[in-house]
């Protein structure tokens, strides 16, 4: 008998894989994996503008030399109650973040940045920017881990005025 072969002439892992793929209970397995990956590309110029402002602020507060950003939209605030004025923007942010959209290199940052495709310490997880129907209110959530039991984030709420997008408040701050 050759090494690594069973008496049937195939490796056990190969047999398992073949049975797994052909078994009726696992027929939708590949579809679920594909559905969980970021499949849409985030392409909202105003959204990138607001996300860039949030990341710039976070990098300045934390005195970072570079910014590492998770490569797809993620993260939703822990708090679910928002000021009434921003409620529809917050709902849009949550809906968009569930879709896990892929970010492009369209951030305008003064710091060098990198899109990361794996979680780790120091990586910013940001939501897609959510807007109300009139696109005069926006919500963006950001979270940054600093270890297994360490991290923090908050939601930034913006209001559009005649002077452009103005930060209304930094809301729902969380820390661990």
Beta strands 137-147 and 150-161, pairing class: antiparallel
H or E segment and range at residue 171: strand 164-175
Domain locations in the chain?
1-36, 42-175
Q: What is the DSSP letter of 158?
A: E
The reported pLDDT for the residue numbered 35 is 41
pLDDT reported for residue 152: 84
Q: What is the pTM of this model?
A: 0.75
Judging by beta carbons within 10 Å of its beta carbon (0-12, 13-18, 19+), is residue 167 exposed, middle or buried? middle
What stretches of the chain show up as alpha helix (H) in DSSP?
A: 12-22, 29-36, 45-62, 87-98
Tens digit of each residue's pLDDT (9 = 90 or more) over 6-55: 444 445 444 343 333 443 433 433 333 334 454 689 999 999 999 999 99
Taking the C-alpha atoms of residue 101 and residue 167, their distance in angstroms, rounded to an integer, is 24
Look at residue 46 in the predicted model and tell me its pLDDT.
97
pLDDT digits (tens, 9 = 90+) for 84-121: 999 999 999 988 888 889 999 999 999 899 999 877 77
Residue-level pLDDT at 39: 67
Average pLDDT, the chain: 79
């Amino acid at each position: 008998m050759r090494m690594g072969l069973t008496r049937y002439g195939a490796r056990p892992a190969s047999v398992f894989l073949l049975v797994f793929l052909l078994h009726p209970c696992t027929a939708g397995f590949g579809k679920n994996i594909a559905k969980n990956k970021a499949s849409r590309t985030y392409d909202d110029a105003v959204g990138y503008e607001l996300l860039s402002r949030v990341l710039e602020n976070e990098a300045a507060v934390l005195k970072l030399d570079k910014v590492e950003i998770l490569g797809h939209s993620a993260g939703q605030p822990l708090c679910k109650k928002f000021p009434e004025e921003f409620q529809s923007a917050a709902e849009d942010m949550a809906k968009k973040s569930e879709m896990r959209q892929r970010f492009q290199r369209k951030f305008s940052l003064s710091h060098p940045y990198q899109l990361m495709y794996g979680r780790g310490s120091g990586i910013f997880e940001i939501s897609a920017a959510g807007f109300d129907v009139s696109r005069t209110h926006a919500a963006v959530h950001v979270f940054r881990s600093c270890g297994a039991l360490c991290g923090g984030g908050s939601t930034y709420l913006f209001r559009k005025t005649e002077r452009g997008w103005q930060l209304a408040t930094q809301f729902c701050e969380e820390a661990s």
